[in-house]
């Protein structure tokens, strides 16, 4: 037993009585216990050990073929009142859902071990951190949670012996039955139940389930924010660091931006970029009245395909030690891994993500498009020295972005906080393989939170507006970026990657009152000459094109926004209706 907390002990007893495991193992987080679990995983075929010289401490895992991505259709927010889940979440009455799930969990761990995983989201000792306990029958989950969270006995110290403020997570692979796969959140009960999946996004309950769906609800009730945002610091040649948080839907370059490497000319001047987090930010108003953020996670759960030396050298470096690779290609010649977009040399003697012998010349994909790496943040060459700071970092700018071929310009700034909330609420992007469903469809994804908001999205928008009122003139400035404008042949015009820093520097200059802007119908834009394009294969006219606001396209966009807003009925804040009316008036001038 690692704790005397009766709330924890009683709950573990109750869940064990339901699932009936053969034995219960409490996870203390020690290297000795973890090594035992790695060896066990290998012996039961759950994992394979990779080349110790080239990839020390790294493991390979394959999921079931029917279990390769988050299943949004099977993900529920079960608030007691349907209205509180809102129109963008799947809802079921807890009185119906609990009995339904109990049947699936009843005896599902017979013949198996239940692992009790205490974990802390955020630095141990931080007032901004929260504790969870996940019960699981999967060694894969234990080993991934060790990378992704601060897992083990210290989490129970953070909780203390009396507190009941912990998130209760119950997971079982059960039969991996697709028809009975459920990822269910009970926000008012601080509870998550996940059954019949083994895929990370559905079963690492500290990740999207707790850190976003449950935490967004907690933040609403407790006056803070849990957001689907990266956090990065930009250090200027004088050694001053300013922090930006940014929200992008999946496959919009979020991890690449979080670990950005400045262009050569900037490195030579002494600019540096530091990664605090690549996916989730918990933000609270600090004693100084500013917005402060922590990354609740301790690792990266990144998409492998497309990660390479050019697109994201820091992410690649993060995977070279102590990493778990899921659904990638196994190179049998040297016992390493490969995926599409890693390099131009697919292995000749290999096994694909399904575990089948793979011939790279037959046109089939070797790695699943949503294959993953779970890598320790401490491996990242640009990890911030503030990563474990219990106070977090102060946020100067909030950036929204999506993947739009024509509509959104390269960058624009909101006129004020409420306009910024509007800009975040109308975010749209083209879909990717990270969620099951069609690829390439334009989909609205407010603040990149559509799949992750644990309560009514209208109330979520209102919470943002309220946070702005509390922050007053200390609120971060809000911007929107789009790295994905294309020409008529469909080629990206902006070079992206490290060169995105050129746009971030204008953003920070705006925050410091050091750069001018032009007013457009949608917000403030840089004067083209204020974005440094020296050394780029782009001229001033091309940049002007990237900043162009096509009024006709935006009029179409406004229609789409009306349609989207209609979903929220009377829970849509009046302020956002006003902002939409202002946009339309500006477009008609």
pTM here is: 0.97
- Burial letters 394-409, b for 16+ CB under 10 A, else e: bbbbbbbbbbbeebbb
Maximum CA pair distance of the chain? 71
User: Tokens in use for 54?
Assistant: 């080239």
Please classify residue 226 by burial: count the beta carbons closer than 10 Å to its beta carbon, then call 0-12 exposed, 13-18 middle and 19+ buried: buried
Cα–Cα distance measured from residue 478 to residue 244, given in angstroms and rounded to the nearest whole number = 10
Helix residue spans in 527-571 (DSSP H): 540-546, 551-566
Binding residues for GTP: 251-256, 372, 403, 497-500
CA dist., res. 174 & res. 62, Å (int)? 17
C-alpha–C-alpha distance, residues 569 and 557, integer Å: 19
Q: How high is the pLDDT of residue 64?
A: 97
* Residues noted as catalytic: 252
CA atoms of 241 and 237, how far apart (whole Å): 10
Annotated binding site for Mn(2+): 208, 228, 279
Per-residue pLDDT of the chain (589 residues; tens, 9 = 90+): 899 999 999 999 999 999 999 999 999 999 999 999 999 999 999 999 999 999 999 999 999 999 999 999 999 999 999 999 999 999 999 999 999 999 999 999 999 999 999 999 999 999 999 999 999 999 999 999 999 999 999 999 999 999 999 999 999 999 999 999 999 999 999 999 999 999 999 999 999 999 999 999 999 999 999 999 999 999 999 999 999 999 998 778 899 999 999 999 999 999 999 999 999 999 999 999 999 999 999 999 999 999 999 889 999 999 999 999 999 999 999 999 999 999 999 999 999 999 999 999 999 999 999 999 999 999 999 999 999 999 999 999 999 999 998 999 999 999 999 999 999 999 998 665 555 566 656 789 999 999 999 999 999 999 999 999 999 999 999 999 999 999 988 899 999 999 999 999 999 999 999 999 999 999 999 999 999 999 999 999 999 999 999 999 999 999 999 999 999 999 999 999 999 999 999 999 9
pLDDT at 1 (0 to 100) = 83
**Token pair recorded at residue 358:** 């793979």
The pLDDT value given to residue 441: 66
pLDDT score of 139: 98
pLDDT of residue 23: 98
Q: Which of 38, 70, 37 is nearest to 207 (CA)?
A: 70
Q: Are 401 and 481 in contact (CB under 8 A)?
A: yes
474 in Cβ contact with 394 (< 8 Å): no
Sketch out the chain's domains with CATH numbers. 6-47+66-222 (3.40.449.10), 227-295+387-588 (3.90.228.20), 300-379 (2.170.8.10)
Q: What is residue 432's predicted lDDT score, i.e. its pLDDT?
A: 54
Query: Where is 525: in which H helix or E strand?
Result: strand 523-525
């Amino acid at each position: 037993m690692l704790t005397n907390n009766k709330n924890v002990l009683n709950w573990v007893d109750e869940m064990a009585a339901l699932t009936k495991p053969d034995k219960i193992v409490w996870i203390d987080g020690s290297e000795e216990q973890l090594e035992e679990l790695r060896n066990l995983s290998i012996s039961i075929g759950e994992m394979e050990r990779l080349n110790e010289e080239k990839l020390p401490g790294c493991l390979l895992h394959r999921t079931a073929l029917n279990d390769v991505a988050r299943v949004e259709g099977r993900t529920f927010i079960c608030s007691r009142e349907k209205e509180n889940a809102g129109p963008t979440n799947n809802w079921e009455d807890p009185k119906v859902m609990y009995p339904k799930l109990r049947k699936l969990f009843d005896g599902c761990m017979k013949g198996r071990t239940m692992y009790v995983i205490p974990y802390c989201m955020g630095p141990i000792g931080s007032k901004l951190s929260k504790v969870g306990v996940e019960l699981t029958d999967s060694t894969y989950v234990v080993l991934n949670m060790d990378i992704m969270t601060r897992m083990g006995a210290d989490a129970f110290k953070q909780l203390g012996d009396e507190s009941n403020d912990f998130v209760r997570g119950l997971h079982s692979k059960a039969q991996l039955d697709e028809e009975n796969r459920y990822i269910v959140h009970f926000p008012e009960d601080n509870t998550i139940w996940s059954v019949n999946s083994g895929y990370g996004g559905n079963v690492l309950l500290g990740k999207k389930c707790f850190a976003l769906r449950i935490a967004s609800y907690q933040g609403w009730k407790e006056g803070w924010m849990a957001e689907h945002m990266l956090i990065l610091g930009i250090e200027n040649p004088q050694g001053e660091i300013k922090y930006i948080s940014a929200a992008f839907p999946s496959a919009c370059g979020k991890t690449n931006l979080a670990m950005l490497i400045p262009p050569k000319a900037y490195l030579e001047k002494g600019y540096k970029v530091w990664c605090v987090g690549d996916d989730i930010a918990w933000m609270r108003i600090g004693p100084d009245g500013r917005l402060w953020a922590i990354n609740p996670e301790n690792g990266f759960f990144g998409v492998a395909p497309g990660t390479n030396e050019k697109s994201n050298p820091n992410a690649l470096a993060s995977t070279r030690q102590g990493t778990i690779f899921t659904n990638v290609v196994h190179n049998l010649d040297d016992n390493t891994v490969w995926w599409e977009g890693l390099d131009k040399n697919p292995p000749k003697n290999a096994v694909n993500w399904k575990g089948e012998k793979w011939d790279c010349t037959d046109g089939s994909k070797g790695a699943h498009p949503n294959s993953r790496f779970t890598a320790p943040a401490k491996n990242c060459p640009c990890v911030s020295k503030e990563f474990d700071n219990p106070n977090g970092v102060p946020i100067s700018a909030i950036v929204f972005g999506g993947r739009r071929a024509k509509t959104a310009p390269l960058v624009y700034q909101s006129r004020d906080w409420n306009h910024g909330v509007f800009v975040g609420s109308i975010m749209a992007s083209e879909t990717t393989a990270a969620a099951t469903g069609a690829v390439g469809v334009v989909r609205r994804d407010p603040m990149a939170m559509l799949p992750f908001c644990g309560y009514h999205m209208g109330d979520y928008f209102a919470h943002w507006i309220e946070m702005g009122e509390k922050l007053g003139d200390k609120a971060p400035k809000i911007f929107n970026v789009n790295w994905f404008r294309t020409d008529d042949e469909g080629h990206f015009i902006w070079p992206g990657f490290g060169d995105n820093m050129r746009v971030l520097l204008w953003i920070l200059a705006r925050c410091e009152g050091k750069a001018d802007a032009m007013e457009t119908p949608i917000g403030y834009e840089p004067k083209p000459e204020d974005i440094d394009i020296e050394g780029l294969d782009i001229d001033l006219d091309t940049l002007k094109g990237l900043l162009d606001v096509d009024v006709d396209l935006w009029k179409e966009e406004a229609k789409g926004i009306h349609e989207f807003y209609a979903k929220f009925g009377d829970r849509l804040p009046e302020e956002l209706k006003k902002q939409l009316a202002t946009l339309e008036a500006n477009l008609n001038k």
